[in-house]
Structure 1
Amino acid sequence: MSLTPSRDVFITCAVTGSGDSTGRSDKVPVSPRAIADSCIEAAEEGAAIVHIHVRDPETGKPSRDPALYEKVAEHIAASGKDMVINFTAGMGGDLTLGPSDAPLPPNDAATDMISAEKRLEHVANVRPEICTLDCGTMNFGEGDYIMTNTPAMLKDMAGRIQKLGVRPEVEVFDTGHLVLAKWLHAQGLLDDPVMVQLCMGIPWGAPNDLPTLMSLVANMPDDWIFSAFSIGRDQLPYVAAAVLAGGNIRVGLEDNIWLKKGVLASNGDLTREAVKTAEGMACNILGPNEVRAKLKLEKRW
C-alpha cells in the first residue's frame, strides 16, 4: 500500500449536522445566528470551508427551511470573515419503512421524500459556492430508515447543481457510491475538478479501517480532489489518516461532539486540533482564496 501524504491541505468544518446531538451537547449550534457564529469561530481557527445544515430554532430538530439558510449566509457575510460556504443538499431523501412485519406503507411521520427541485431550493436561493450531493442510497441506524438517492434523482440533482454554477461535494459513504460518481462524471454532470468527501465509519457504510480508505483512494481518478473523515472518537485521529492518504480534512460537531473523554468540544476546538495535527505533519493549511483557486470556485459571499 503506497501512501502519498498531502502537503497543501484545506479543512472543512461541519458545524451542526442533522443528528440528535443538541440534547447531548450545549455547544451544538441551533439558531441561524449561533450556526453562523460557529462557522466564524471555525474559520478563525483555520477552516477554509464551512459545511452547513440548519435547525429549527425552537426545537433544535433538523430543518430544510430555505429562509434559515439565507439567514446563516447573511450573518456570515455581515461578519466580514471570509470562508467558503458549503450547504447540505442531503435532506429530503429520507425514507422510513414500517416495521419488518409490515414495511408498507412507509412511516409517514418519519419519511421526508421531496423532488430534486425542492431539495435544492435553498441552494438556488442563496447560491453558495459548494453544496453536497450524497452519491447513493444506504441504511442508517438500526431501524427502518434509508438514506435514499436513486441514480435518477442523482442525475436530476447533479444537472441542476451544474446549471446553478455551484460546485457539488460528492459525499461517498460506500464503495458503490464512488462508482455512481464516476458514472455522473462520464455523462458530463460533474465538472472538473471533482470534489469528493469520503464519509468513513458510518454504519452501514464503508468502515474506517485504512485498507478500506486506501481502496477508495486507489479507485478515485488522480485529478479528483478529496477529503476524508470519520465519526465520534475516531474523528481527530482520522485527520492524520486523511493527510497520509493524500486528502484533505473534515472535522466538526456534525460528526463528533467530544474533544477528549469527558470534555465537550466546540467547532473551534476541533478545527484547532486538526490544524495542530496537520502542521505537525509538515502541511500547509490553505485559506479560503487558495481553496477557491484549487476548486475553481467563484466567491459569492
Structure 2
Amino acid sequence: MSKVIVTVAPTGGMASKAQNPNLPTQPAEIAESVHKSWKAGAAIAALHARRPDDEATCNAEIYKDINRRVRERTDIIINNSTGGGSNGDMLLARPDGLFESNFEERLKGCDAGAEMATFDGMTFADVHGGREILVVTTPSRCEFLAKRMQERGIKPEWEVFGPTHILQDVTRLIEKGYDKPPYYINMVLGADKGFQGAMPYSHDILAAMIRLLPPQSIFCVSAIGPAQLPATTQAILLGGHVRVGLEDNNYYARGKLATNEMLVERTVRIIHELNMEHASPAEAREILGLPPVKI
C-alpha cells in the first residue's frame, strides 16, 4: 500500500490560548511546534498566521517569517492558508451590522513562497464570537484564487466541507486546468451543527464523498473535535491521508488537552499498527508531484 501522508495543522484561525495554552500562535512558537511534529512523523504543515495579539491574519510578511523559521529546521511541506480566520484582519464590518470575511486579505496567503496553499472556496453564513459572519467565495472569486495559485506555482490543497464543494468548485476548476494530477483534496467533517457548512462525520458520509472525487484524486481527511480520531482512522483504512492538530481538535482524550506532537504521534502509531507506513516529506512530495527541497 502507498504511504500515508500526515499533515499537522498547528494553529488555525479560530482557537485561542484560553481554550488550550499549548496552541502556538506566534512565528517562533509555530515553528517549534512544527519541528516537534515533523520529528514525530508529519510531512505537511498546514499553517495559519496570527498577529502579535494572537488574532487571525494572512499578512504575507508574517507568513514569510513563519515559513523561514520552519524551513530552517525541517524539510516539511509548507502549506499556507487562504481561509484566514474569524477575527483580526480577516473580518470587514458591514453597514448592516454583519461581518464579512476579507477576501483580499485571504489572497495574501499565496504571497509568502509556500509550496501548497489551502483552497477555501466556501460560501456560508455563521455565528462566531457573537458575530454573524458571511464568507462569500463566489465562482469568479474561486477562479481568481485558483489563478493566483497557478501563477505562483502553488499546488492547491482543495478543502471541501460537503458534496457541493466537490461538485461545484473543485471539479469545475480542475476541469478548467487550474491543477495537475494528482489532485489533493482535504475533506473537513464533524463540525458541530454544520459549522462553516461542514457535514457531520459518519462512515457513510465520508464514503459517499470519496465516491464523488474527480478521477486522479488522492484524499485527506481532517475532522473537528471528537470526530478527529475515528474519521482519520477510517481515512487510513480507506486508502487516504490524514490531518491532525490543534486547529481542529484541542483534546487528546476527554478532559486531557493535547499538543500538536501528541496528536501526530498517535496518528503515526495507528498507521504502524495497521501495518502501514507514514510518508516522509520527501516521499509526500513524490506522491504529490512537488519538487524536492534541501535544508
Under a length normalisation based on structure 1, what TM-score does the superposition of the two structures give?
A: 0.88
Q: Which residue of 1 aligns with 2:282?
A: 289
For residue 129 of structure 1, the aligned residue among 115, 123, 133 is 115
Q: Return closer, same or farther for 1:85/1:27 CA change in 2, 3 Å cut-off.
A: same
Q: Is the 8 A contact 2:58 2:81 kept in 1?
A: no
Match of 1:190 in 2: 179
Alignment partner, residue 173 of structure 1: 161
Distance 1:267 1:95 in 2: 27
How many Å separate the matches in 1 of 2:103 and 2:219?
Answer: 28
1:191 is displaced (CA, Å) by 2.1
Structure 1: runs of 5 or more not aligned: 1-5, 99-103
Q: Compare 44-53 and 85-94 and name the one that shifted more.
A: 85-94
Distance 1:75 1:164 in 2: 21
Structure 1 residues 253 and 64, CA, compared in 2 at 3 Å: closer, same or farther? same
Aligned-partner SS, 2:7? strand
Residue 86 in structure 1 maps to residue 72 in structure 2: no
Task: Give me the whole-angstrom Cα distance separating, in 2, the residues matched to 1:227 and 1:51.
Answer: 12
Query: 189-198 vs 163-172, which deviates more?
Result: 189-198
- RMSD (Å), alpha carbons: 2.1
- Kindly provide the CA deviation profile for residues 36-84 of structure 1, in whole angstroms up to 9, marking residues without a partner as x: 1111111010000000001122x221122221111111111222x2211
Correspondence for 1:208: 201
CA distance in 1, matches of 2:136, 2:91: 6
Residues 1:298 and 1:172: Cα distance change in structure 2 (over 3 Å): same
8 Å Cα contact 1:239-1:278 kept in structure 2: no
Deviations 1:144-189 (A, max 9, x none): 2233211110001101101111100000011110012001111112
Match for residue 120 of structure 1 among 104, 107, 111: 107
Cα separation, 2, equivalents of 1:162 and 1:29 = 30
Residue of structure 2 equivalent to 1:46: 41
For the residue of structure 1 that corresponds to 2:252, the secondary structure is strand
Measured in 2, the distance between the counterparts of 1:75 and 1:272 equals 22
Q: Structure 1 runs of 4+ off > 6 angstroms?
A: 92-98
Q: What SS class does the counterpart of residue 128 from structure 1 fall into?
A: coil
Change in CA separation of 1:92 and 1:149 when aligned onto 2, cut-off 3 Å: farther
TM-score (norm 2): 0.89
Shift of residue 92, structure 1, vs aligned partner: 8.0
Report the Cα offset of residue 227 of structure 1.
Answer: 0.2
Aligned residues: 284
- 2:234 is aligned to 241
Match of 2:55 in 1: 61
What's the counterpart of residue 19 of structure 2? 24
